[in-house]
A and B are shown apart, each in its own frame.
Chain A
Amino acid sequence: MFYRMPEIEYLRVSGLEEALQILSRKEDTKVLAGGTDLVVDMKVGRYKPKVVLDITGVKELRFILDEGDRIRIGALTRIQEIVESSIVRRKIPVLAEALSELGSWQIRNMATIGGNLCNASPAADSAPPLLVHEAKARLTSLEGFRSIPLTEFFLGPRKTVMRATELLYEVEIPYDEDFAKGYSYLKIGRRNSFTLSVVSSATVLKTSDGRFNEVRLALNSVAPTPVRARSVESFLKGKEIRGGIIEEAAELVVNDISPISDVRASAGYRRHVSKVLVKEVLTKALTRLKEAGGD
């Protein structure tokens, strides 16, 4: 009751087709998937849409499917459902690890994976693990489907490539057995739970013959969008796994990020702890891979 919600036209649908129809017709529409970001943002005046389209009842967008070489997660799947999914925990554990630190249990039961991605916060917890898995965002509109690699999905803070007529249908995550062994997500927040990240980082990696075969690394809160740390990745590719190599690689992360100073931390602190965090996630992923009997 404390904040004045903008006067909106509120529409609630239960089917995807109906939702797409409305999106094709109505201008200035915000989609309500879980509401944990949107409602707060409307209260504080960040968004003042004319129309709010409530798709929380669209059941066909709420699924987790294991198709062997890929996992498909419907856009309206609740965060907590993903955290608890045995498929995700087994095949994309870095995603479960990251999402278990999103908000509080109450929020995870309301918030959706689609909402977290489409809101396009630079601090989105779901982005780094999906970026390292080279997941695709599958978008739908009345014209049909198109798939966008998540690395191309975010344009800036709260901006994505999605058109006003589109909805996120699902994310497709390629399954890779090695990445389910060599993975890690770590978050630096301002307290131990229920906190926005100051910086967080996800990695998946493979090794062979004592060398880094493939390393993928992503961070959030250090650039206008969640980013892949390509300098670190390419530096490590093919390098021998030896003492000091991770430390060397971690220093390079500053080339991949462009943090700002805000009320949560200074740019200088973010740059410093990005290096620490990269070192940490890589070490932890490597340890896990070894323990799982990887190379």
Chain B
Amino acid sequence: MSTPFEDPQTLINKWLESREFLVVGKGVVRIDSLSKALGKARFTEDYLTSDVLFIKQVISSEPHALIKRVDHSSATGVSGFQGVFTASDIPGINQVGYALPDQPLLAEGKVRYVGEVVALVAAADYDKALKIAEDVKVSYEPLPCILDPLEAMERTDLLIHEELGSNIAFRTKVRKGDVVEGFSKSDVIIENEYRTHHQDHVYLETEAALAIPDLEGRMTVIGGIQYPHLARDITAKVLGVPSSYVKVVVPYVGGGFGGKDDEGPLAAAKAALVAHLTGRPAFILYSRDESILIHPKREAAIIRYRSGADDEGRLQAVDVTIIHDSGAYANRSPFILWRATMHASGPYEVPNAKVDGYAVYTNKVYEGSFRAFGNASIQFAVERQMDQLAEKLGVDPIELRLKNILEPGKHTMTGQLLDHSVGVGDAVRRLVEASEWRRKREEYRKFNEVSDRFKRGIGIGVAWHGISTSRGVPDWSNSYIKVEKDGSVAVFTGITEIGQGSPTSSHVQIVCEVLGVLPEHVKVVFGGTDAPDSGATHASRGTSIGGIGVLVAATKLRERLASLAASMLGVEPGEVIIRDEKARVRSDPTRYVTWGDLIKEAISRGVELSATGYFFLPKGKFDDLLGQGFAYPAYSYITIVSEVEVDTWTGHVRVFKVWPALAAGKIINPQQVEGQVEGAVVQGMGYVLMEQLIFDSKGRILNPDLTDYVIPSIRDVPEIAKPIYVEDLFKYGPFGAKGVGEMALIPMPATLANAVANALGVNITTLPLTPENVLKTLGKVG
């Protein structure tokens, strides 16, 4: 039999044209929901064995200091003591910096923030490990510390990383047209400095990893991780062994939000290091205070934004400076800063742009990945600017936005032509109708004229988020599928299940749609390094990018099996439809072969029943010197309208209704997408209204606990309308799907700040909008 054509893009295109679906687009129940509801789903800690060693981390009490000595003499007499391990015990390379080689796994020579891990204590029981960790004496020679990124940028006499000669870790830029000319053509100009703050992920399950040496002749790590292959590579590097000698398994994970993209691999490496050095299984589990003190946070940003528009309301120029407080290590801040920089215009066309970004070291907990990845802060600035431009022009903020909104055929700020999948204009227009924006804007204005204490406002935030990695950074999807003799299907993906549900819902749906099998016969084996490297479960890519490989592998099998069925039924392959585990003749559905018989025939005829789905995303080039070029293959878009009531006596902001509209291509599972949107709205609302880390003069976090780091409870959750979906299909996505996971968080600072500003008639430039900060803005509290 001839081999069917198996070019990935051709297969993606073919299924992109589907108009009728078996399971895609339907609220199929995820396969892990029952086991999670019943408490049967297993997380890292559930794999503990009785012979395990417990690890406790010794963390720095100093923000910036030389390490003189680590004394653990008091520990040697303790029974069950297995060792105290420091940088000098690392057999491989003590270098885990993500973007830049600036970060040790265990502090070496000096510490750069309070919370930096200096040593690992291992003991046969947890209490002993805790006691020994308390008794380990680290002698420091304190150095002056820098906490303010603006100060850090200016100083060269005090360096956090001496070898760099500067506290600026990374710079980015975009240049388009001539901003001087753009501002000269502007009839209105708005200029502000915005400030946003850190956010902790507060995943229900803190970081955990269990390392088991010699299982299968290699180091096996079970852990809460977002990218198993990255965790494997970092672990192998630290141990000084080949990557193929490390296996990473990611079981169910109690939340990631980006935090376990950064800290997950480090937790894995720490557990593996102890297991490697002791020859025994080793387990690390962060306490909540360790988690908050140690792991990276959402960027705290300072954004200076100047924008101008002509009297017709057309944007003429934006001039933006973005400064990220990267903390002690660069980690992913260059990539986060890139994303912020590329998105600095918002989803609007602007002829002249100048954007400069700086990631700056300070002696604080460092910056890392967090749902929205640099984009929530910049869209906050963009959307505050748009509201103020509209106000100054005397037009409705929606009109101003729609006048400048990106559409197919327009160019982004980096000069990239948007050729398809730009549904943002439709999303805004539909949302304005659904939320009755104009009527409410007027209604609240009247309400505020007579209401003294309570003020109501309605605001909008529009946002875009590039699909895949920024610029030309390689990105791919990969998955492996095999059909077993009994017809059941095993799918292997490195995408993890961190609560979002892609391997347990959309991947299953993709396979069922393409192969016509029933969900109960599909097993997605997810989150392990024995699957092909599928990239990370981050950047809203689990279903969109992660699903491409699943689609391609499944479609390859489908092509082969449709050909086989065609020959069995005596028709052309195009005449075969497969559904409900039967391959039928389209024109005469009474003629069919069963899925089971089809698989038996494939085995007897030598049709390969396994396939790899690999797809490398086509990208262009970004010119760093010119600050122009390709940024992303496409963008997801979202807009959120929110309605608030502010108590001007207490400063309390009550969000009473949130309206989302999403342009993220095909919605494969509306139930899951709705869950993602609601979760992101609440996480974003918590960030804007109540969450804040309090630092003292040494950069110590004073509230590393859930008593005083306050996140929303169910009673704080506003009414969230059913999302509006604009299905602007993405040419590389499975069935045209784009990313969703991060989307609804991105415009939350923008929409809430705009609503509060609308309610109070004041400018909002600084987050969070805690009651106290609201009263400060109103001048009621000093």
Please state if A266 and B713 are interface contacts (CB–CB under 8 Å). no
Instruction: Determine if B690 is an interface residue (Cβ-Cβ < 8 Å).
Output: yes
Instruction: Enumerate chain A residues within 8 angstroms of B714, measured Cβ to Cβ.
Output: 193
Q: Pick the residue among A4, A194, A196, A264 that contacts B130 (CB under 8 A).
A: A4
Instruction: Enumerate chain A residues within 8 angstroms of B775, measured Cβ to Cβ.
Output: 269, 272
The interface residues of chain B, by DSSP majority, are classed as loop
Please state if B707 and A3 are interface contacts (CB–CB under 8 Å). no
Given A273-B650, A276-B649, residue A263 in contact with residue B715 (CB < 8 A): no
Chain A nearest CB from B292 CB (Å) reads 12
Given A3-B130, A269-B781, residue A195 in contact with residue B710 (CB < 8 A): yes
Interface bits B734-772 vs A (CB < 8 Å: 1, else 0): 000000000000000000000000000000000000111
Instruction: Determine if B150 is an interface residue (Cβ-Cβ < 8 Å).
Output: no
Please state if B707 and A266 are interface contacts (CB–CB under 8 Å). no
Please state if A188 and B650 are interface contacts (CB–CB under 8 Å). yes
The number of residues on chain B lying at the interface, defined by a beta carbon within 8 Å of a beta carbon of chain A, is 33
Instruction: Enumerate chain A residues within 8 angstroms of B392, measured Cβ to Cβ.
Output: none
Instruction: Enumerate chain B residues within 8 angstroms of A265, measured Cβ to Cβ.
Output: 772
Q: Which of A184-199 contact B (CB under 8 A)?
A: 188, 190-196
Instruction: Determine if B22 is an interface residue (Cβ-Cβ < 8 Å).
Output: no
Instruction: Determine if B446 is an interface residue (Cβ-Cβ < 8 Å).
Output: no
Instruction: Determine if B397 is an interface residue (Cβ-Cβ < 8 Å).
Output: no
Instruction: Determine if B702 is an interface residue (Cβ-Cβ < 8 Å).
Output: yes
Please state if A191 and B715 are interface contacts (CB–CB under 8 Å). yes
Chain B nearest CB from A114 CB (Å) reads 22
Instruction: Enumerate chain B residues within 8 angstroms of A266, measured Cβ to Cβ.
Output: 772, 781
Instruction: Enumerate chain A residues within 8 angstroms of B650, measured Cβ to Cβ.
Output: 188, 273, 276
Instruction: Enumerate chain A residues within 8 angstroms of B438, measured Cβ to Cβ.
Output: none
Given A2-B287, A190-B690, A191-B715, residue A269 in contact with residue B130 (CB < 8 A): no
Please state if A264 and B708 are interface contacts (CB–CB under 8 Å). yes
Instruction: Determine if B437 is an interface residue (Cβ-Cβ < 8 Å).
Output: no
Q: Within the assembled complex, what's the spacing in Å between the Cα atoms of A188 and B690?
A: 13
Question: Which of A188, A191, A193, A268 counts the most chain B CB atoms within 10 A?
Answer: A191
Please state if B715 and A192 are interface contacts (CB–CB under 8 Å). yes
Instruction: Enumerate chain B residues within 8 angstroms of A273, measured Cβ to Cβ.
Output: 649-651, 771
Given A1-B126, A269-B772, residue A263 in contact with residue B694 (CB < 8 A): yes
Q: Within the assembled complex, what's the spacing in Å between the Cα atoms of A195 and B708?
A: 9
Instruction: Determine if B131 is an interface residue (Cβ-Cβ < 8 Å).
Output: yes
Instruction: Enumerate chain A residues within 8 angstroms of B523, measured Cβ to Cβ.
Output: none
Given A4-B130, A268-B781, residue A263 in contact with residue B708 (CB < 8 A): yes
Chain B nearest CB from A139 CB (Å) reads 29
Q: Pick the residue among B131, B652, B703 that contacts A263 (CB under 8 A).
A: B703
Instruction: Enumerate chain B residues within 8 angstroms of A264, measured Cβ to Cβ.
Output: 708
Q: Within the assembled complex, what's the spacing in Å between the Cα atoms of A263 and B708?
A: 7
Q: Within the assembled complex, what's the spacing in Å between the Cα atoms of A122 and B645?
A: 30
Please state if B708 and A192 are interface contacts (CB–CB under 8 Å). no
The interface residues of chain A, by DSSP majority, are classed as loop
Given A191-B712, A193-B715, residue A4 in contact with residue B780 (CB < 8 A): no
Q: Pick the residue among A3, A4, A190 that contacts B710 (CB under 8 A).
A: A190
Instruction: Determine if B716 is an interface residue (Cβ-Cβ < 8 Å).
Output: yes
Nearest-CB residue, chain A, relative to B712: A191
Question: Which of B288, B649, B690 counts the most chain A CB atoms within 10 A?
Answer: B649
Please state if A272 and B780 are interface contacts (CB–CB under 8 Å). yes
Interface bits A1-25 vs B (CB < 8 Å: 1, else 0): 1111000000000000000000000
Instruction: Determine if B127 is an interface residue (Cβ-Cβ < 8 Å).
Output: yes
Please state if B782 and A268 are interface contacts (CB–CB under 8 Å). yes
Instruction: Enumerate chain B residues within 8 angstroms of A190, measured Cβ to Cβ.
Output: 690, 710, 770
Instruction: Enumerate chain B residues within 8 angstroms of A192, measured Cβ to Cβ.
Output: 713, 715-716
Q: Which of B687-738 contact A (CB under 8 A)?
A: 690, 694, 702-703, 707-708, 710-716
Please state if B707 and A196 are interface contacts (CB–CB under 8 Å). yes
Instruction: Enumerate chain A residues within 8 angstroms of B781, measured Cβ to Cβ.
Output: 266, 268-269, 272
Please state if B713 and A191 are interface contacts (CB–CB under 8 Å). yes
Q: Which of A247-295 contact B (CB under 8 A)?
A: 263-266, 268-269, 272-273, 276
Instruction: Enumerate chain B residues within 8 angstroms of A193, measured Cβ to Cβ.
Output: 713-716
Instruction: Enumerate chain B residues within 8 angstroms of A276, measured Cβ to Cβ.
Output: 649-650
Question: Which of A263, A265, A266 counts the most chain B CB atoms within 10 A?
Answer: A263
Chain A nearest CB from B685 CB (Å) reads 11
Q: Within the assembled complex, what's the spacing in Å between the Cα atoms of A268 and B651?
A: 13
Instruction: Determine if B154 is an interface residue (Cβ-Cβ < 8 Å).
Output: no
Chain B nearest CB from A278 CB (Å) reads 11
Chain A nearest CB from B649 CB (Å) reads 4
Residues of B within 8 A of A (CB): 126-127, 130-131, 134, 285, 287-288, 290, 649-652, 690, 694, 702-703, 707-708, 710-716, 770-772, 775, 780-782
Residues of A within 8 A of B (CB): 1-4, 188, 190-196, 263-266, 268-269, 272-273, 276
Question: What are 28 A-B interface contacts by the 8 Å CB criterion?
Answer: A1-B126, A1-B285, A2-B287, A2-B288, A3-B287, A188-B650, A188-B652, A190-B770, A191-B710, A191-B712, A192-B713, A193-B715, A193-B716, A194-B713, A195-B710, A263-B708, A264-B708, A266-B772, A268-B782, A269-B771, A269-B775, A269-B781, A272-B780, A272-B781, A273-B649, A273-B650, A273-B651, A273-B771
Sample of 9 more A-B contacts, CB < 8 Å, known A188-B650, A276-B649:
A4-B130, A191-B690, A194-B713, A263-B703, A266-B772, A269-B775, A272-B780, A273-B651, A276-B650
4 nearest A-B pairs in the assembled complex, by CB-CB distance:
A2-B287, A4-B130, A192-B715, A193-B715
